[in-house]
Structure 1
Amino acid sequence: MYKIPAKTLFMGKVVEYMPSCHSTNDSARELLLRPDTAEGVVVITDHQTAGRGQRGNTWFSAEGENLTMSIILKPVFLQVSNQFYLNMISSLAVKRVLIDMAPDSISQVKWPNDVLLNSKKVCGILIENTIKRSHLENSIVGVGLNVNQQSFGLEQATSLYRTTGSSYQLQTVFESLLGNFEALYLKLKSGRHKELKEEYLQSLIGYNQWRQYRAEYQFEGEIIDVLDSGRLKVRTSQGDKLFDFKEIEFIWN
């Protein structure tokens, strides 16, 4: 069970807690069918039986050890062409939590919105939007943040506990995440796009760094920008190239 955070204006003022559910994003979508569902409602569970990641990937989380939640937003101020800013602020909110909880570790964002701790994935984010004409109508931000989980089936996965050796109160991490998310969301709502994008780029693995990538072939490149649409702009020896989601992958050394 999670308490309502005291320091937010509207994020998490209604918390829909379920010991177990199929998917918090699916449950949040059902709540949006009710006209009285307010912005900032959080759906959270101890055990998600069918979590999803980007592009249909499956997301597994140990029961009762991590934060598995979805935030309901109504970003009617945001044009469809700028919807990637929700990805930016979501990953930045998690990164800010990690900086606070694990200050001696390196927190980074892997495009488009995975968050890494010491080069291993600690958080996955799935955002689902509904559109009305040229603007967003509703958004569901699903967050799976590994907090106290000790073992993983994947070498490139980690948690706060595995990184620092310390256990964390999930309520504390929950409140920190909502507070940081709300601050960034309000900044987005006020139109401070340039400031948010700069923070995102500075957090991005590969930004202004030459690294190995794989698209249709392996190549060396340097991330130089992320367009408002979310497309990745990479400088290569053959010129600048743009990539959509799933068109490019990092090669880990």
Structure 2
Amino acid sequence: MNYPEPIFLQKTTSTNTYLAGLCDRMPQPELTCVYTSYQTSGRGQRGNSWESEPGANLLFSFVVYPSFLEAGRQFFLSQITALALTNVLSDYTEDICIKWPNDIYWKDKKLCGTLIENDLTGTSISRSISGTGINLNQTQFLSDAPNPVSLTQITGQTYNPTDILHQVMQRISWYYRLLQDGHTTEIAERYKRMLYRKEGLHTYRDCEGSFLARFRDIEPSGRLVLEDSNGQCRKYLFKEVTFEL
């Protein structure tokens, strides 16, 4: 095992918040991970909350100190987490993919969400805390989230969250070493191969409305490059475009 033994919390407000506080009080070893079966204030992208039935799912955060990585290349941290999750979940079912930037999908349904919070020192990333929620054993979703799904709904099996966590952390550790060793091209290519809607024309929406486009590329900054049905190249940073489902 190339990471410290994960810390289990019976209940917490948010694993990201708890781990940040732990690191603020005393720097923790790299790849220190905390996980829980219940968050009272789980956070998602765009200020959303993350619905999770108590005891049903895997909610975890881990910390790294990637001072070798410039702020403009922080998207690689998102990529390695998404790849690790995709690799592990693909062992249990087919049709797992990454919806840009870092949601994990099964077909057209959301299986995992990740929130990454980076601290910068100068132009480098001094600390990165990545928090993920994996829908494992939940069978009903009560929020207005449009398309959640759990692994148990897909397969009919139930899962041990701690077992899944160790599998994910082993893959994260492997990808993080790849990043430390400078293999960014391999990471980026693996990520692109696993993307949701990487083939064909699909519907997207930006500030000007809906449009049809096909995937063209992901820039090192994380910017999504699309080509619309008129042949025009369109480039988007996070939150500037949405996928219409």
TM-score of the two chains, using structure 2 as the length reference: 0.95
Query: Partners in 2 of 1:199 and 1:234 — Cα distance?
Result: 19
Secondary structure of residue in 1 paired with 2:129: strand
Is the 1:146–1:159 contact (alpha carbons within 8 Å) kept by the matching residues of 2? yes
Cα 1:66–1:107, aligned 2, differ >3 Å: closer, same or farther? same
Greater Cα shift, 149-158 or 90-99? 149-158
Structure 1: runs of 5 or more not aligned? 1-7
Secondary structure of residue in 2 paired with 1:52: coil
Query: Partners in 2 of 1:176 and 1:98 — Cα distance?
Result: 10
Query: Partners in 1 of 2:166 and 2:71 — Cα distance?
Result: 29
Q: Which of 223, 240, 245 is residue 247 of structure 1 equivalent to?
A: 240
Secondary structure of residue in 2 paired with 1:234: strand
What aligned pairs does 1:40-189 form with structure 2 within 5 A after superposition? Answer: 40-102=31-93, 105-153=94-142, 154-189=145-180
How many Å apart are 1:155 and its aligned residue? 4.9
- Cross-structure match for 1:201: 192
- Cross-structure match for 1:26: 17
Is the 1:208–1:224 contact (alpha carbons within 8 Å) kept by the matching residues of 2? no
How many Å apart are 1:35 and its aligned residue? 3.4
How many Å apart are 1:238 and its aligned residue? 4.8
What aligned pairs does 1:223-234 form with structure 2 within 5 A after superposition? Answer: 223-234=215-226
Query: Partners in 2 of 1:177 and 1:62 — Cα distance?
Result: 21
Q: State the Cα deviation string for residues 59-83 of structure 1 (Å, max 9, x = none).
A: 1111111110100111111111110
Secondary structure of residue in 1 paired with 2:61: strand
Is the 2:67–2:125 contact (alpha carbons within 8 Å) kept by the matching residues of 1? yes
Secondary structure of residue in 2 paired with 1:60: coil
Cα 1:235–1:86, aligned 2, differ >3 Å: closer, same or farther? same
Secondary structure of residue in 1 paired with 2:98: strand
How many Å apart are 1:239 and its aligned residue? 1.4
Secondary structure of residue in 2 paired with 1:95: helix
Secondary structure of residue in 1 paired with 2:169: helix
Is the 1:122–1:145 contact (alpha carbons within 8 Å) kept by the matching residues of 2? yes
How many Å apart are 1:248 and its aligned residue? 0.9
Q: State the Cα deviation string for residues 71-111 of structure 1 (Å, max 9, x = none).
A: 01111111111100111111111111111122xx2001111
How many Å apart are 1:50 and its aligned residue? 0.5
| Residue type at the aligned position of 1:230 | G
Secondary structure of residue in 1 paired with 2:24: coil
Query: Partners in 2 of 1:54 and 1:228 — Cα distance?
Result: 20
Secondary structure of residue in 2 paired with 1:205: coil
Q: Which of 32, 35, 39 is residue 30 of structure 2 equivalent to?
A: 39
Q: State the Cα deviation string for residues 105-143 of structure 1 (Å, max 9, x = none).
A: 200111110001132100000000000111100000101
- Percent same amino acid at aligned positions? 34
- Cross-structure match for 2:210: 218
Secondary structure of residue in 2 paired with 1:33: helix
| Residue type at the aligned position of 2:39 | Q
Is the 2:80–2:176 contact (alpha carbons within 8 Å) kept by the matching residues of 1? yes
- The CA RMSD over aligned residues, in Å, is 1.2
Cα 1:155–1:208, aligned 2, differ >3 Å: closer, same or farther? closer
Q: State the Cα deviation string for residues 211-241 of structure 1 (Å, max 9, x = none).
A: 1111121111111111111111111115111
TM-score of the two chains, using structure 1 as the length reference: 0.92
Secondary structure of residue in 2 paired with 1:168: coil
Structure 2: runs of 5 or more not aligned? none
